Amino acid sequence: MLRIECPCCGLRDQDEFRYGGDASVTRPGHDDPDPEAWYRYVYVRANPAGLHREFWQHVIGCRQWLMVERDTRNHAIASVAFARKAPAKKSFTQTSLAQKSLTKKSPVRKSTA
């Protein structure tokens, strides 16, 4: 049984996690019209016999997405970190959207979130 050291919850059984696949591929920009870029993102995998960077979600725990480096030959885990690289952008929070819809006539306030 794999055990993953969740940065939030500590060492937990793999049963608590959901696999999210190869974390080394990068999603093309949403407006990227190049089918080749999307083909590579969706299908092409390096599939190394060795260290593999991959996503796991701690579904029965903190529900955070994690980025794990694991050796595919012996399952030794080299590192675990939160998958989010930067904090969410502040200009597009739910609060600001809600305020936008509620105060149609008044000028939109800038989010204070």
Partner 1 sequence: MARYSAFSIFRNALSGQKDWQRAWRAAEPKPSYDVVIIGGGGHGLATAFYLAENHGIRNVAVLEKGYIGGGNVGRNTTVIRSNYLLDGNTQFYEFSMKLWEGMSRALNFNVMFSQRGQLVTAHSADQLDGFSHRANIMRLNGIDADILDRDEVRRLVPYLDFSDTARFPIHGAIFQGRAGTARHDAVAWGYARAADGHGVDIIQNCEVTGFVRDGDRIVGVETTKGRIGAGKVGLAVAGHTSVLGAKAGLELPIESHVLQAFVTEPLKPLVDHVVAYGADHFYVSQSDKGGLVFGGNLDGYNSYAQRGNLGVVREVAEAAIALMPCISRIRLLRHWGGVMDMTPDASPIICPTPIEGLYLNGGWCYGGFKATPASGWCFAHTIATGKPHPLVAAYGLDRFRTGRALDEAGAGPSAWLQ
Distance of CA 92 to the CA centre of its chain: 18
Among positions 5, 19, 95, 108, the unique one binding partner 1 when judged by CB under 8 A? 19
Interface positions, 55-84, toward partner 1 (CB under 8 A): 70, 72-75
Residue with tokens 């509620």: 102
The residues pairing with 5 across neighbouring beta strands, listed in sequence order, are: 11
Interface positions, 22-41, toward partner 1 (CB under 8 A): 22, 35-36, 39-40
What residues contact residue 60 under an 8 Å CB cut-off, 6+ apart?
15, 16, 17
Binding residues for partner 1 (CB under 8 A): 1-2, 13-15, 19, 21-22, 35-36, 39-40, 42-49, 52, 54, 70, 72-75
